[in-house]
Every structure is written in structure tokens, then in C-alpha cells.
Structure 1
Amino acid sequence: MPDDEEQTQRVLGGRYRLERVVGQGAMGRVWAAHDELLNRAVAIKEVDFPRGMPTSEVDQIVQRTMREARAVASVSDPHVVTIFDMLSLPHGPAIVMELLSARSLAQIISTDGAMTDNEAATIGLSVSTGLLAAHAAGITHRDVKPGNVLICDDGRIKLTDFGIARSAGEHTITATGLLLGSPAYISPEVASGRPANAQSDAWGLGAMLFACVQGVPPFDKGTPLATLTSVVQDPVPAHPDSGRLAGVIRGLLVKDPATRMSVGLAHQAMLRIAADNGSLVTQAWKPASHPAAAPAVTANGRPPVSRPQPSLPPPPVWTGPPAALPPPPWAGADSGSLRALPVHAPVRTARRKSTLAAVALVVAVIAAVAGYLGVRTIAHLENGTPILGLPGPVAAGWSTGWSTGNASAGRGF
């Protein structure tokens, strides 16, 4: 292909004008480009096939790129890079995604060194949030490492490069004997040939946190084969500078995925650590089958230096609701003369409650008496007997009249 200078201003897909290269690898490059249709800046991950590559391998790379686009497009989370479009070009596929002004976490660790446990927990919270969103969509990332975490200039943290991510419903397209993933951050079960799952991403999260606080990955023997052997066989190295993250790292780097801390539990523990005002939380996770860790010491045999943590501001104090609500913003100029609306309904006093209770009792008594008299009246009228409590002549008249009328009706019938 022509060099980068010749490709500048090249238009892809009839709308994306290439501007400059912002990243490059063995299989392609990432361009900063401009979307002329929507007038916005984008990044384009362009895949190039080396000359002479077998057709079967080309097909695998095309499928891998398509899988990355589908995987990221199915995840909606602010901590995962956003996919805009997918292009099928003569020289290979290309993914159009959001353009970020950022450095990778690997670059930051390499340039600035190890981080404090608070900084590492902040990054871990964002990465775990993105992983949880991916897992909820049925996607396993399978390559969680500092190189795939972007720290943006505006403070956003993004999980990227889902190139070897796989949906739970997809079959593997990896050739026999070919292992995808970074050896220093790959989980023991995947290094042993077993399929990856959400717990494999949990191991990658732990290895990433280890690198944040120690400055180096937990397993790195110089060559891929030696590193993979160490991941499977060697114990997890000590991490004396992990501070409050010690329990989380220890739980995530358990070799057995069945007893390994999950991404969700790690997220909850890091939330607690981030909200902590300075007290150590080193026992956030301790599996029953995992032996207790030895006291942390540095390489020179001295205990690690405790790093001061900024204290959190005190929580706001609730002083109660205001006495009255102010006039609404759309009220007129004369609204100041109106009586302010009370926040709460008027409180009923004990005297008022007693009066209402007495009135209710009187009404109930009157209703009961009226009902009683009505029932007795109906009963006596049916039987032709006097109604007790009424004057004698009235009762006699009622009784005679009813009896006479009843008899006449009988005779007429």
C-alpha cells in the first residue's frame, strides 16, 4: 500500500476522509479521520493483509475484525469504546469508532511508574463496569490488559480492543495450536487450552490491577512460552505495594476459576475502597481454599511504605426542609405579595383529632339506634302487636287499623 503521506486525505466508504495515523501494529493502523456526512471526528481501525498470507488466515482475520465490531456494537456502556460503522474495503475490513484523545494504561505505567491503590481502584472500577456490561451482553473480552485500557484527557476511562472477544453463541475460529491473548495477562485455564469465560476476564482484571500498583505484570518471563508456563505452574508473586487492593488482587488471581473472585464482587470491593477515607481494607476477598498471604515486604526486606490517601470531604448535613416554597419561576412580578405555599400539609392537633373522634362516635350511635327502631317497627307491623315505647292510642290505632285492613283483604280474596 502507499505510505501514510500518500494516503492522507484518502476517502473511505465515500464519507470518511483520513487525516493522520494515530496508531500502528503488525496487522494495520488506526487513523484519525473526519466523517464528512455527520461532520465529526472519528477513528478508523484499518486492517492490512501482508502479501503472501494464505487465504485461510485472511479469512480468519476478516472474521475476527467482524467479530470485534459486532461485540463492541452489542455493548452499550460509557466505559467501552463506541463503534459507529463497519467498512468492507478491497484490501481488508475497517472499523469506524469514536476518536479519543488518550494514552493507554500501559503507556502511563511505562512512563510514570506504579500507581497508588486509589488510582488503581478508580481505573479498576471503570474497567470492571465495562466488563460487566460486556458479560451481560454475552461477550467475553479475553484480553484484558493495560494496553487495552485508554485514559482520556478529560478523565474518561475506556476499555477497547475487543479483537479476540467472543460471544457465547459463537464458535471458535482460532486455528489449532494458535493462542490469542497476551501471555502475561492470560488466565491459567486459557493457557492450559480450556475455553475462556467471564472468570477469565476476572483474572485479566486482577493482572491489570497488579501491574498498576507494582509497575510490572505478575507473570513475565521474557518469552511467551516461559511466561505461559509460569502462569500455569508458578504461585502468584507478592504485591507489597497493593495497599487496600491487596485482597481484591489476591481474590482475582486465584488459579482455580471456580473459587476466583468474580468481576462483580471485585467491582463492589473497589467501590468500598474508593469510598474509604484511609483505613486499610486488605481482606476484601479471601477464599476459604486459598492460604493466608505472608506479611507484605519489599525486595529489600523492609515493610512497604504506607502511602497517604486524600481524605474525603464530610457528607452534607441535613438541616430540614425550608419553611415555605418560593413562588414558581414563571410567576408574575406581583408574586411577592402572595402568601408562600407551605412545604407540608397543616398538622392536625390533638384537640382536633379528639373532636373528630367524638363526632364519629355520635354518628355511629345515632345510626345504630335508628337501625334498631326500624327493625322493631317492621317486626311489630308484620305481627300486629303494639310497638313498645309509643303512646297507647297511637299503638292501638295502628294495631286495629292494620288488623281490620288485613281481615278485609282476607275476605275480599
Structure 2
Amino acid sequence: MQQQVAGRYTLLREVGRGGMGAVWLARDEVLGREVALKRLAHREGLGATEERVQREARVSAMLNHAGVVAVFDLADDGDDLWLVMEYVDSVDLSTLVRREGPLSPDQTAPLMAQAAAALAAAHAAGIVHRDVKPGNMLVTRERQVKLGDFGIARTGADASLTATGLVTGSPGYLAPEVAAGGGATAASDVWSLGASIFHTLTGHPPYDTSGNLMGALYRLVHEEPPRTDRAGWLDPVLRGTMERDPQQRWSARDVQVFLAGGPGAAAAVPTRPAPPPRPQIAAAQEAPAAEQTQVFAPRRRTPLLAAVAVLLLAVLGVGGWLVLRDESSDPPATTAEPTDQASSTETTEPAPTPTRAEMEAFITDYLALVVDDPDAAFEHLTPAFQQTSGGLESYHGWWDTVRAAQLQQVNADPDRLTVTYRVHYKMKKGPDRVDDVTVDLAYEDGTYLINGEQ
């Protein structure tokens, strides 16, 4: 007897298998059509991530593009959650390359141009994929490409997670900033797209993570990306996507336009403006000049690169202390000699420091502004976050779908410069949604900006 899911979908046969388990061809008994079903997780293993899975399924269902595997439903079958998707008679790009061998630049370009177009549409809608790789690109017999798995299947059971569970995505295709513990963004998707192009041209990902995973992550974070002489006229797109500085990477739309233009597009390489000067962050105590020129960055992420190195040393069994900064190397403090008795007794006004009330008020005002005036609210993001989140177009892509954003709870942490809040989104189309969000703030002279979202 054939198994039925949620009283509606009859499982016919297994058509694929990945880190999350089997993908099944099924028949939708209500609408009389074939669909694909993937079990996301058993409820006991899903735990606190269930709300996130449901939220991301709803977001993915909002994306309507010919190059994206459509999401139809999230079926609740008691102990399990199943994702119901468009059925695509295809093989994934990784399997195609394994069967046919590395593809030439002329064979690679039309396939990856379709993947780039789908990714660009997702970014314009405010959606970050988080796991772009050949295994998530489905290729039909007609060489049509559809991009699947939009950030839904990353739960605790996914084999692509590291042993710590802190880094999501497939390690061989991770952007350096994600491998270092940062959040995934449109820019990190573009790196992964470039890594997928590299795989298609060479037959393997740019980083081999099958052996020493931590060693590979260390190289990814600290070393220049590998290049290949098989790239041919696609070399500029590899360099533009696998660029260590997220602000200097091409966009997915840049990649699409370049690849669609053929070999003649090599002269039309997109350019990026020079990054803005790095602003100084006010500090409560005087620090050496070299420490005052940091980009707006949350304090809790300062040691991320060092943490990767520490973890690598632990894996290799190497003991010892990791010295983050040699205090003896600081220049000696100098004190100006007072000109008179009065000046020697003057006190300096202390620099302002973040407060819980101010941070919570900032988020309250931001949510009150963003729906009515996204352009003005966009200026409440740091330049770095404006770039890595996909720019103003991507920002509008999400907020133009929201009718109201009602703040329900808010809790600020001045020491970590983070604010966690719950917001009720009233959508212009589709059901309303409630999200729990944590943002990182940057602070300078009493001014707050949003520097990232966890």
C-alpha cells in the first residue's frame, strides 16, 4: 500500500537523496498533479527551529520565477514536516558534471546564466538562498536550470553543518565571511555561485572539505581563492564573484548579464566603486590609533577569525595561548604637561556609550519608519550592510510587500550591541507573519546604525 502524507499526497517513488534524506515523487490527490516531497525533519529533531522552517517555507513560496523550483505547501503529517514542491524531471548539476566531465566555458555559461537570473530574482525579493551549490541546481533534458532549496532545509539534521552547528551551508562553497561565522547575505550567495561555476569548469569545488574540514575553512578565511586555467573567457566572472571583499563582489545580475553576453562580454566587466572610508567608532577609553579605524562591526564578532584559528589548533592537538594583541607593543601613553594649576584640574567629558533605552527606541523608530519610507530607513543601515544585504533594490523587494510592521517585544544588550525583537508583519498579500529578529548595531557619538542581522 502506498504511503500518504497529510491525507493528500501519495508517495510514488524516491527520485533523489541528499543530506536531508530522500526526495519523493508524489501525487497531489486534491489537484491531480505530480509534485516532489521532501521530509524536512522529524518533529523530535526539529525542536526550536520549527518556526524558522515554517517562516522560510512561506518566504520561498512567495518567489515566483521560471528558474526557481516552486514551493507549493508545507505539509504537517503529525510527527513530520514535508516540503511540497514543483516536480522537475532532471538531474542536479553536480551529477551532470560527474557523468559528462568538466564542462567548457561555452557549455557552462548558459547554464549558470539561468542560475544567476534566478538568484538575482530572489535577491530582488529580499530572499537569501544560503546554500548555492551545483547540488541545488536542477538541469532538465532541455538544459533548463532551476534553483532549489531556498534556505529551508538547513535544520539540525543537515550533514552540511559543521560539528559545532555554527556554520550553515555546504563548506566547499561557503563565502569567507560565512566560514568565519558571519551571517549569509546576497553577497555570500554570489561567492557560492562563483564557486559553483568553478566546480562546473573543473569537476570539483574550489575547496576540498572531504578530509580536514577545519583546515579547509582556515584556508578559505585566510588565503586567496584558487584559480583555474580552464576558466577561459569566464575568468573575469570567477574573479568578480570569488572576491574576498563582499562589497567588491559582482551582483547576481552582473553575473547573469556577463554570462548571457557570451565571449564578447569579456570587455564589459562590471566595476565596483572604491569602498567608503572606514569610519572611526567612538570608545569610552582612549585606544591606539590603529584600533580606532574599525569598520562598524558588532563587538561580539571581533574575534571570529581568531576563533577559527583556535578551533583549528584544537583539532590538530596543538596547545598554547593565542595572543590576540601584545600589550607591550602599544605605544607609551603621553600626558600633556599642564600650563597652569587650573588646567591640570580640568576633567574631560566622557564619551557617550550605548544604553538599553536608546537602542530599543532606535529599533522602535526604525520599524515605524521603514514601511512608509523605505528609502529613508535604508540610511539607518551601515554602508557595509547596505552592500552585503543586496542594496536598495533588494531592500525594497521585501519591504514593498509589507503593509505594517508592529513591534511586539524588544530587548537590547548594550554590551554586545545587539537588539532582539519580535515583530508582527501585516502583509499586502498572503498571510500575516510573526518573526523573531536579532540585529547587530554600530554606534558612534550617540548615533546608531544597523550593521547586520543574525
Whether TM-score is above 0.5 comes out as yes
Tell me which of 12, 23, 27 is aligned to 1:34. Answer: 27
Asked if 1:124 corresponds to 2:109, the answer is no
Structure 1 residue 256, shift from structure 2 partner: 0.6
C-alpha distance in structure 1 between counterparts of 2:58 and 2:108, whole Å: 29
Asked if 1:192 corresponds to 2:180, the answer is yes
Asked if 1:272 corresponds to 2:272, the answer is no
Q: Which whole-Å deviations, capped at 9, do the CAs of 1:362-391 have from their partners, x for residues lacking one?
A: xxxxxxxxxxxxxxxxxxxxxxxxxxxxxx
8 Å contact kept, 2:198–2:204: yes
Structure 1 residue 165, shift from structure 2 partner: 8.3
- 1:407 corresponds in structure 2 to none
Describe the shift of the 1:260–1:175 C-alpha distance in structure 2 as closer, same or farther (beyond 3 A): same
Tell me which of 210, 213, 220 is aligned to 1:224. Answer: 213
Q: Which runs of 5+ in 1 are unaligned?
A: 1-7, 167-173, 291-413
Tell me which of 60, 80, 92 is aligned to 1:104. Answer: 92
Moved more, 185-194 or 64-73: 64-73
Structure 1 residue 246, shift from structure 2 partner: 0.6
8 Å contact kept, 1:64–1:163: no
Provide the secondary structure at the position in 2 that maps to 1:158: strand
Asked if 1:243 corresponds to 2:236, the answer is no
State the identity %.
38
Q: Match of 1:246, as an amino acid?
A: D
Counting matched residue pairs gives 267
Q: Which whole-Å deviations, capped at 9, do the CAs of 1:295-336 have from their partners, x for residues lacking one?
A: xxxxxxxxxxxxxxxxxxxxxxxxxxxxxxxxxxxxxxxxxx
8 Å contact kept, 1:248–1:285: no
C-alpha distance in structure 1 between counterparts of 2:238 and 2:127, whole Å: 23
C-alpha distance in structure 2 between counterparts of 1:20 and 1:30, whole Å: 9
Asked if 1:20 corresponds to 2:8, the answer is no
Structure 1 residue 200, shift from structure 2 partner: 0.6
Q: Match of 1:44, as an amino acid?
A: L
Moved over 6 A (4+): 286-290
Structure 1 residue 191, shift from structure 2 partner: 1.0
8 Å contact kept, 1:253–1:260: yes
Instruction: Give TM-score scaled by structure 1 length.
Output: 0.60
Q: Match of 1:33, as an amino acid?
A: A
8 Å contact kept, 2:166–2:181: no
C-alpha distance in structure 2 between counterparts of 1:157 and 1:236, whole Å: 26
Q: Which whole-Å deviations, capped at 9, do the CAs of 1:45-69 have from their partners, x for residues lacking one?
A: 12343xxx9x5x5224533532442
Q: Match of 1:249, as an amino acid?
A: L
C-alpha distance in structure 2 between counterparts of 1:65 and 1:25, whole Å: 18
Q: Which whole-Å deviations, capped at 9, do the CAs of 1:331-360 have from their partners, x for residues lacking one?
A: xxxxxxxxxxxxxxxxxxxxxxxxxxxxxx
Provide the secondary structure at the position in 2 that maps to 1:93: strand
Q: Match of 2:220, as an amino acid?
A: V
**Higher share in strand:** 2
8 Å contact kept, 1:141–1:165: no
Structure 1 residue 36, shift from structure 2 partner: 1.7
Asked if 1:284 corresponds to 2:230, the answer is no
Q: Which whole-Å deviations, capped at 9, do the CAs of 1:386-413 have from their partners, x for residues lacking one?
A: xxxxxxxxxxxxxxxxxxxxxxxxxxxx
8 Å contact kept, 1:245–1:282: no
Provide the secondary structure at the position in 1 that maps to 2:194: helix
Structure 1 residue 108, shift from structure 2 partner: 1.1
Provide the secondary structure at the position in 2 that maps to 1:139: coil
C-alpha distance in structure 2 between counterparts of 1:178 and 1:203, whole Å: 19
C-alpha distance in structure 2 between counterparts of 1:240 and 1:63, whole Å: 45
- 1:255 corresponds in structure 2 to 244
Greater relative contact order, per chain length (Cα 8 Å cut-off, separation 6+): 2
Describe the shift of the 1:130–1:115 C-alpha distance in structure 2 as closer, same or farther (beyond 3 A): same
Asked if 1:143 corresponds to 2:131, the answer is yes
Q: What is the aligned-residue RMSD (CA, Å)?
A: 2.7
Asked if 1:211 corresponds to 2:196, the answer is no
Tell me which of 82, 87, 94 is aligned to 2:75. Answer: 87
Describe the shift of the 1:288–1:29 C-alpha distance in structure 2 as closer, same or farther (beyond 3 A): same
Structure 1 residue 76, shift from structure 2 partner: 0.8
Q: Which runs of 5+ in 2 are unaligned?
A: 155-161, 276-454
Provide the secondary structure at the position in 2 that maps to 1:258: helix
8 Å contact kept, 1:87–1:94: yes
8 Å contact kept, 1:67–1:163: no
Describe the shift of the 1:194–1:23 C-alpha distance in structure 2 as closer, same or farther (beyond 3 A): same
Describe the shift of the 1:234–1:28 C-alpha distance in structure 2 as closer, same or farther (beyond 3 A): same
Q: Which whole-Å deviations, capped at 9, do the CAs of 1:205-256 have from their partners, x for residues lacking one?
A: 1111111112111121433212211111122212101111110111111101
- State how 1:36-51 maps to structure 2 within 5 Å: 36-49=29-42
C-alpha distance in structure 1 between counterparts of 2:152 and 2:215, whole Å: 22
